[in-house]
Amino acid sequence: MGESENKEKRVGRNFRLALCLGLSLGMVAAPVLADAQWRITSPYPGNPLKVAVLSGEGRASGSSFPVSLEFACHPGAAVPRVTLRVPLLVADWDFSAFAHAPSGDAPLRRRDLVVFASNRRIIGQPNYTGIAADSASFTFIWQPDEALLSRLTHGNDGIQIHLRGIRRSQGRLETRFIFPSDSGAMRAALGPCSRSLPAVAHSAASAVGNGG
């Protein structure tokens, strides 16, 4: 068991070192990434909807800022929903250009948002809905595929999400997330919506629900 623990620590240490060196994105990993944990919430009292939230780091226009990745699951839904939440005020970025018109006739911006594995392999280029969620944040919402969901249990691994700017001079908005080694609470919350995330024992799932 000691050998297994040491191997896990080495994997986590090596991955975090790669993040700090900026091998993929040229970003410095924030301390919050090293200690990332899944946070499970129940937004609506009495509603079985569960949301698994992971904090991460974003970078654009030479500045860094906190971001979050949220996976929502209702037991009655066939698939979960993923939301990337970024601060509404990021230098040189006007997120209204990414929002869908109220009439619903705005074209989907295919390929603007790209999900990468930690080895830089593309694992998703989803069509998304862009919404100004509140006065402080903008959200990109899409339906995740099993390729992304299956990675959530890869403790100390992670993903990167890039958003291409409307103008070439903007460059990219880049976000980074590390998956916690303990995925039990996340699997309990999202398991009913994904075949790649079998839920943990019922008692554990109940405990998560009562604590959300």
What are the E-state strand segments in the chain? 39-41, 50-60, 63-73, 81-87, 113-117, 122-124, 129-132, 137-142, 158-164, 172-178
Q: What are phi and psi of 147, to 5 degrees?
A: -60, -40
- Which has more confidence, 6 or 20? 6
* pLDDT (mean) for 32-43: 78
pLDDT of residue 24: 34
* 92-133 tens-digit pLDDT: 888 888 887 554 444 455 558 999 998 889 999 998 999 998
Count of structural domains within the chain:
1
Q: Kindly state the DSSP code that residue 91 receives in the 8-state scheme.
A: T
**Res 7 pLDDT > 50:** no
CA atoms within 13 A on the CB side of 30: 16
Whether the full predicted model's pTM is greater than 0.95, yes or no, is no
* pLDDT (mean) for 62-71: 95
Q: What are phi and psi of 107, to 5 degrees?
A: -70, 145
- Residue 200: pLDDT band by 50, 70, 90 thresholds? low
User: Can you tell me the distance from the alpha carbon of 41 to that of 189, in angstroms, rounded to the nearest whole number?
Assistant: 9
Average pLDDT, the chain: 77
- Which has more confidence, 124 or 5? 124
Q: Which domain holds residue 93?
A: 2-211
Taking a C-beta distance cutoff of 8 angstroms, is the pair 161, 114 a contact?
A: yes
Q: Kindly state the DSSP code that residue 76 receives in the 8-state scheme.
A: T
**Res 144 pLDDT > 80:** yes
